[in-house]
Amino acid sequence: MKNNIRLLTKEELNNFKEKYSFEIQGFFIVVKCNDFNRPTLHDIHHNFFLNHKGRKIIINSDTIKIWDRYYKDIHLVELQNLVNQLTIMYQDITPENIEKLLKKGSN
């Protein structure tokens, strides 16, 4: 799976951040497309896909849990990109390692 990960460019990341917003409701994450009025529910225990301008990304269930617990102030897509970066670097996905990347400004 590590071979298939491609990080988002700054432009792609900004496009996803402008298009989507997220909210946890019980055992679901509500995905709202900011330019379309139809929220979608996804089980927080399962991965799901997001598409924008031909770019498709997977939001991982583990990332959703980390986001809900530690990083609500960061956009979920941005956090997923950081998690992907750690995965490519063969680093453990921990809040400490995410903090290191955030301090570096790697994203």
Mean pLDDT of the chain: 91
Q: What angle, rounded to 10 degrees, do the helices at 61-70 and 95-104 form?
A: 80
**Global confidence as pTM:** 0.90
pLDDT digits (tens, 9 = 90+) for 34-73: 888 889 999 999 999 999 888 999 999 999 999 999 999 9
Question: CA torsion angle for 72, 68, 10, 82 (degrees, to 10)?
Answer: 120
Note the pLDDT of residue 37.
Answer: 86
